């Protein structure tokens, strides 16, 4: 909102220095803070100290620019002959900060990977995220509440639940975000774009709470359900937002060792049901889901079944580093009766279902991790440019520029590798991706999360105390540091993925000698 058109001279502002009339200037805009002095979260005395003065430097050392938008009602005009300089971004805007956007979004660079429909989608998802997800995500982080049904319905209507499953028939006939992209033309670069945009609020728990369980679980139903009518019913219920689904593989005993699962599914004598007993731990969204895509031990191996919340299913919230907004749960199955028609893939061959599911899941996590690191880089560049210490900007110190250079390089390198792998995904059938891309995706994911570790570490060094404070300027840095580790563990820990990547590369090793 533009300040009122009235203008004042700096001399006029200087006359308002008492509690009866206290004005100050921030970015050439005059604020009458008389009514705000008592309510100022930073206290009264600091405002008295800047009464009648230009408080721009003091303000930007302690507040995010958005505070001015929130309190625009105190703006009474501008300084005659001056114009506010600080940009107020609007929903959907690209950031003008160097390296805040991937190269393909910069007007001066070109990319072979993206076309106009990717650009339309990027703009539309960013606007949607900023208008409808950001504030709720941060409110839910604070309250621990789950994503509202209103937002789920809005995303479903916009086709954003369908897009989370990646390209495929489930998107046919879907007009994404009012038709900016048709479901039929949605490819893995569109998938990359929406995966990277949706996480920009940097509210990590709310990001997983935003139907993360569906993203990694419904794919197993879409690819491995044995009855097309049943598959459509489940997919329709979930993609319309009426029912919620999550993936329940990990266990307290087995961790991510899928072969070591202990949850059992024993067939009833009439062969019509499985009786499931066991526990699952760290199940994202489990606290409020209706369907659980569950790894179980059957007679001769591992199987995957869809279990509906019913008698014998109990879920309990687990406290994790982020708030309870992700609905992370401990689940117990106590003699739960599951129709055999809920089997996904073949009995005792569930490992194929799980392994093939992993690729898209890990790739989505990688998109998210790189995008989040980039947002942190943006925060650090802006902060280094505005923070004054001993009369100099932080960025004027070579040590800070070294840190920024390292962070930028890590993010850019991983983004380029991600785009190269995504290009392969666009040109390879899903089943072949498991063979040729499982290794590269595993290596890329661990590279992205190692980079996130470095970015998190350097960012706090740059931000100091603000980077470990949950409210105020450094809130994104604090959140990132508290939660970046999730990606280094979920979907396969870094060590497991590194090992997988190298072992896969060695599988077809030729008789090559030095
Ligand atoms: C238009 C003028 C101002 C408004 C609307 C304003 C508003 C706020 C708000 C909403 C907060 C809570 C934290 C946040 O959301 O960032 C805050 C904190 C604070 N403000 Fe202000 N403020 C203004 C000017 C100033 C000035 C000029 C100073 C110092 C000279 C100042 C010093 C502080 C301090 C020290 C804090 C606590 C910071 C922290 O906990 O990190 N404020 N202010």
Kindly give the residue spans of alpha helices, DSSP state H, lying in 260-306.
none
Residues 264 and 176 both lie in one domain: no
Residues 331 and 384 both lie in one domain: no
Residues 111 and 34 both lie in one domain: no
Check if the beta carbon of residue 221 is closer than 8 Å to that of residue 243.
Answer: no
Helices 350-386, 212-224: axis angle to 10 degrees equals: 150
Give the pLDDT score at 253. Answer: 65
CA gap 260, 300 in Å, rounded: 13
Check if the beta carbon of residue 40 is closer than 8 Å to that of residue 59.
Answer: no
Final residue in a domain of this structure, among 44, 79, 114: 79
93 phi/psi in degrees, rounded to 5: -65, 145
Residue 488: which domain range? 358-507
CATH of the domain at 401: 1.20.140.10
Helix (H, G, I), strand (E, B) or coil at 195: helix
Q: Among candidates 384, 323, 330, which has minimal Cα distance to 97?
A: 384
Residues 73 and 132 both lie in one domain: no
Q: Kindly list the distances between the CA atom of residue 244 and the CA atoms of 148, 225, 353, in Å, as whole numbers in the listed order.
A: 12, 17, 20
Give the pLDDT score at 256. Answer: 66
Residues 125 and 181 both lie in one domain: yes
CA gap 280, 185 in Å, rounded: 37
Check if the beta carbon of residue 250 is closer than 8 Å to that of residue 281.
Answer: yes
CA gap 401, 458 in Å, rounded: 11
Q: Among candidates 239, 289, 294, which has minimal Cα distance to 263?
A: 294
In short, whether 76's Cβ falls inside 6 Å of ligand 1 is no
Measure 463 CA to ligand 1 centroid, in angstroms: 17
In short, whether 63's Cβ falls inside 6 Å of ligand 1 is yes
- 502: which 2 tokens? 């190298």
Residues 277 and 342 both lie in one domain: yes
Residues 374 and 283 both lie in one domain: no
What residues of the chain score a pLDDT lower than 70?
Answer: 253-256
CA gap 166, 370 in Å, rounded: 18
In short, whether 468's Cβ falls inside 6 Å of ligand 1 is no
Quote the number of domains for the chain. Answer: 4
Residues 288 and 378 both lie in one domain: no
- 7: which 2 tokens? 């203008």
Return the best residue to mutate from 28, 39, 41 for the ligand 1 pocket (most ligand atoms within 8 A of CB).
41
CA gap 73, 240 in Å, rounded: 40
Which ligand 1 atom minimizes the distance to the CA of 74? 1
Measure 238 CA to ligand 1 centroid, in angstroms: 44
390 phi/psi in degrees, rounded to 5: 50, 40
CATH of the domain at 52: 3.10.120.10
Measure 41 CA to ligand 1 centroid, in angstroms: 6
CA gap 25, 7 in Å, rounded: 12
Residue of minimum CA distance from atom 35 in ligand 1: 42
Residues 502 and 417 both lie in one domain: yes
Check if the beta carbon of residue 265 is closer than 8 Å to that of residue 296.
Answer: yes
Residue of minimum CA distance from atom 33 in ligand 1: 42
- 88: which 2 tokens? 């107020």
Length of the chain: 514
Give the pLDDT score at 254. Answer: 64
Tell me the longest C-alpha to C-alpha distance in the chain.
92
Helices (H) and strands (E) counted in the chain, each on its own, are 19, 17
Residues 246 and 308 both lie in one domain: yes
CA gap 5, 76 in Å, rounded: 8
Give the number of other CB atoms < 10 A from CB of residue 58.
Answer: 18
């Amino acid at each position: 909102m533009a300040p009122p058109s009235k203008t004042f001279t700096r001399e006029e502002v200087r006359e308002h220095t008492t509690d009866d009339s206290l004005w100050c200037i921030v970015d050439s805009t005059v604020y009458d803070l008389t009514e705000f002095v008592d309510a100022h979260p930073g206290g009264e005395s600091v405002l008295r100290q800047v009464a009648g003065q230009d408080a721009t430097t003091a303000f930007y050392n302690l507040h995010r620019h958005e505070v001015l938008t929130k309190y625009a009602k105190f703006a009474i005009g501008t300084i005659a002959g001056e114009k506010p300089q600080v940009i107020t971004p609007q929903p959907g805007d690209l950031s003008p900060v160097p390296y805040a956007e991937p190269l393909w979004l910069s007007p001066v660079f070109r990319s072979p990977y993206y076309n106009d429909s990717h650009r339309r989608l990027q703009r539309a998802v960013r606007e949607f995220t900023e208008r409808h997800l950001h504030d709720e995500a941060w409110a839910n982080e604070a309250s621990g509440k789950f994503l509202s049904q209103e937002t789920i319905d809005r995303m479903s209507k916009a086709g954003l639940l369908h897009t989370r499953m990646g390209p495929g028939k489930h998107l046919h006939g879907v007009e994404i975000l009012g038709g900016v992209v048709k479901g039929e033309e949605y490819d893995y670069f569109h998938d990359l774009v929406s995966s990277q945009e949706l996480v920009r609020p940097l509210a990590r728990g709310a990001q997983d709470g935003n139907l993360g369980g569906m993203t990694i679980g419904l794919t197993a139903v879409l690819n491995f359900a044995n009855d097309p009518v049943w598959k459509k019913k489940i997919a329709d219920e979930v993609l319309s937002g009426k029912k919620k689904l999550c993936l329940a593989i990990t266990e307290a005993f087995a961790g991510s060792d899928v072969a070591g699962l202990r949850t059992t599914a024993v067939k009833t004598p009439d062969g019509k049901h499985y009786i499931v007993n066991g526990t699952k731990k760290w199940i994202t969204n489990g606290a409020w889901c209706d369907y659980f895509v569950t790894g179980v031990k059957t007679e001769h191996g591992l199987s995957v079944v869809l279990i509906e919340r019913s008698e014998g299913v109990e879920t309990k919230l687990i406290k994790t580093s982020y708030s309870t907004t992700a609905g992370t749960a401990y689940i117990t199955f106590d003699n739960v009766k599951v129709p055999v028609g809920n089997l996904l893939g073949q009995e005792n061959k569930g490992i194929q279902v799980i392994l093939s599911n992993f690729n898209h899941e890990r790739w989505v996590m990688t998109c998210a991790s790189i995008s989040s690191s980039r947002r942190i880089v943006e925060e650090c560049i802006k902060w280094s440019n505005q923070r004054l210490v001993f009369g100099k900007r932080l960025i004027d110190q070579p040590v800070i520029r070294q840190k920024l250079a390292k962070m930028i390089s890590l993010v850019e390198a991983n983004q380029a590798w991600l785009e190269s792998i995504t290009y392969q995904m666009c040109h390879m059938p899903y089943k072949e991706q498991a063979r040729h891309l499982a290794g590269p995706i595993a290596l890329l994911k661990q590279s992205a999360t190692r980079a996130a570790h470095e970015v998190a570490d350097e960012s706090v060094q740059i931000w100091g105390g603000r980077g470990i404070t949950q409210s105020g300027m450094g809130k994104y840095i604090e959140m990132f540091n508290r939660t970046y580790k999730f990606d280094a563990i979920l979907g396969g820990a870094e060590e497991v993925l590194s090992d997988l990547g190298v072992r896969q590369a060695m599988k077809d090793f030729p008789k090559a000698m030095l």
